[in-house]
Amino acid sequence: MYLAKLTGALLLGVTRLLTGAQARWWGCPPKAEQRIYFANHQSHIDLVMIWAALPGELRSITRPIAARDYWANSTFKRWITTEVFNAIYVERGGTPAPAEEGAPPPDPMAPLQPLIDALKSGDSIIIFPEGTRGHTGVPQKFKSGLYTLAQMFPDVVLVPAWIDNVQRVMPKGEVVPVPILCSVTFGAPIRVAPGEERRAFLDRAREAVVALRDV
């Protein structure tokens, strides 16, 4: 436990030295309530950046998602994501493989189950609804998971966030970070409107994130 706290403090200092990790609470104040923060995704260190931008009292109750194939592929990354970030591992790869003949069909909710369990336990979470990193400067279409979670947990506050410049700190294929001033802007909460269809909500949620780019 002590080593995890020490590593977290060191990582927080390094992240802020490299990026500034400026938090801009434009649409809502930092508040210790259960939230789903959803943000654009352009770098593996998005997880670290948004974690570092949160104040300490929110970091302790907020769990970022982490792609298992990247963040659990070495002993050190596995340790830091579990012991320092308290991250939730998710599987990438899209639709589950078809079941063998005679076997029960794959559970479409299985990829979301770790997030559902975290929300049921009262944690806040950080998710990246694109599902994979974008490279165009604007988010790709959001996948359906955010809508499903919003429907299942209507009392959890949905907070959009825009992570700026972090893709320049660790460009794809690079292993040495470059010091660049970065920021995370947190916007006004949204919720699913009565009768709102999935794609309409996901497009509106994406627009809420993009709107923070120029705030």
Whether residue 71 lies inside any domain: the answer is yes
Whether residue 113 lies inside any domain: the answer is no
CATH number at residue 63: 3.40.1130.10
Q: Which pLDDT belongs to residue 17?
A: 66
Q: What is the DSSP string of 74-109?
A: SHHHHHIIIIIS--EEE--SSSPPPPPTTSPPP-TT
pTM of the model: 0.84
Whether residue 137 lies inside any domain: the answer is yes
Q: How far is CA 134 from CA 42, 70, 142, 149, 182, in A?
A: 5, 16, 11, 22, 17
In the block, residue with structure tokens 């369990």: 117
Whether residue 96 lies inside any domain: the answer is no
Structure tokens that stand for 48 in this block: 């670290």
Q: Which residues of 60-90 are buried (b: 16+ CB within 10 A; e: fewer)?
A: eebbbbbbbeebbeeeeebebbbebbbbbeb
**Digit-coded pLDDT (tens) for 119-144:** 999 999 999 999 776 565 688 899 99
Q: Which pLDDT belongs to residue 123?
A: 97
Whether residue 105 lies inside any domain: the answer is no
Which residues constitute the domain of residue 8? 1-90+122-211
Least confident of 2-16, 76-90, 157-171, 188-202: 157-171
Q: Which pLDDT belongs to residue 100?
A: 56
8 A C-beta contact, residue 139 and residue 130: yes
Whether residue 95 lies inside any domain: the answer is no
